[in-house]
């Protein structure tokens, strides 16, 4: 049947979407024991906190992997308040839309109508907070092709499973510091005076290469000196579209012309 649902894999807690055959209500089932998050998913959380995507005050300790076949969907809903806000969804394999609205109409199996549609490109991270998480409903209509999404959420402290143990790797995470802004003196020095000699296109390209190279070196030094409690290697998540061999990117390095 079109729009039959999707397959889910849960880590951190067992979550009920509806009343089950044992009479458990929707929400976290506290007496169910569930596997903790594997290292790859913990690395994703560390990176999202480091890059200021997720706040360090709401570090996820559970997640659901949704596996969609063609025409699978998620019906209109508001995420249960057993999970605190914000939470996020990362998309893989194919792009689809997510619909939002105060009232979402069911037009047919896997077909919904809402006031706002937001595309979810491959590799994107959607953050839900405030009215987008608590007032507006959201749904995913029947997807056009196979898709995987991972939703990371932090459980309410009063709803934790009885045997839940916090993961030490996900404690005390902090975002990386923003790069320092240029001072007024530096900005004034970068402004070309009327009597300054015309900069040729070749010199401008050379300057850009040298600036990029210097920025890369400064970034490496800052990374080594960072007080972050975790290390993110360049091979953890290669850029989208790049290939790798034995876990290392085989993208050729850019040479510095002189």
pLDDT tens digit sequence for 225-237: 344 444 445 455 5
3-class DSSP state of 207: helix
pLDDT tens digit sequence for 147-202: 999 999 999 999 999 999 999 999 999 999 998 887 766 666 666 555 554 555 54
Lowest mean pLDDT among 34-48, 79-93, 128-142, 218-232: 218-232
Q: In the chain, what are the domain boundaries? A: 7-166
- Give the pLDDT confidence score for residue 226 in this predicted structure: 43
**What tokens were used for 9?**
């894999």
pLDDT tens digit sequence for 104-162: 999 998 999 999 999 999 999 999 999 999 999 999 999 999 999 999 999 999 999 99
- Give the pLDDT confidence score for residue 223 in this predicted structure: 43
Give the chain's mean pLDDT: 80
Work out whether strand 83-92 and strand 147-155 pair parallel, antiparallel, or are unpaired. Answer: antiparallel
CA distances from 111 to 73, 134, 212 (A): 9, 23, 48
Residue among 144, 142, 145, 147 nearest 2 (CA): 142
Distance CA 31, CA 14 (A): 9
Instruction: For 7-166, give the CATH class.
Output: mainly beta
- Give the pLDDT confidence score for residue 245 in this predicted structure: 43
């Amino acid at each position: 049947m079109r729009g039959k649902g999707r397959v889910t894999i849960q880590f951190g807690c067992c979550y009920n979407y509806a009343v089950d055959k044992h009479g458990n209500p929707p929400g976290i089932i506290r007496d169910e024991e569930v596997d903790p998050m594997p290292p790859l998913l913990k690395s994703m959380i560390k990176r999202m906190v480091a890059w200021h995507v997720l706040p360090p005050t709401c570090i996820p300790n559970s997640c659901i992997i949704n596996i969609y076949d063609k025409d699978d969907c998620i019906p209109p809903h508001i995420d249960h308040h057993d999970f605190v806000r914000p939470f996020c969804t990362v998309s893989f394999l194919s792009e689809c839309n997510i619909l939002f609205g105060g009232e979402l109409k069911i037009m047919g199996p896997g077909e919904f109508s809402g006031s706002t549609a937001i595309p979810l490109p491959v590799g994107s991270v959607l953050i839900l907070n405030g009215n987008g998480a608590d007032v507006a409903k959201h749904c995913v209509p029947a997807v056009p092709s196979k898709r995987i999404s991972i939703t990371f959420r932090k459980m309410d402290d009063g709803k934790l499973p009885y045997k839940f143990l916090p993961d030490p790797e996900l404690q005390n995470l902090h975002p990386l510091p923003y790069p320092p802004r240029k001072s007024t003196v530096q900005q004034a020095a970068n402004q070309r005076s009327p009597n300054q000699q015309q900069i040729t296109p070749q010199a401008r390209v050379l300057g850009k290469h040298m600036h990029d190279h210097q920025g890369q070196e400064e970034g490496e030094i800052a990374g080594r000196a960072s007080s972050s409690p975790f290390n993110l290697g360049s091979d953890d998540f290669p850029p989208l579209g790049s290939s790798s061999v034995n876990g290392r990117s085989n993208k050729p390095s850019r040479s510095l012309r002189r």
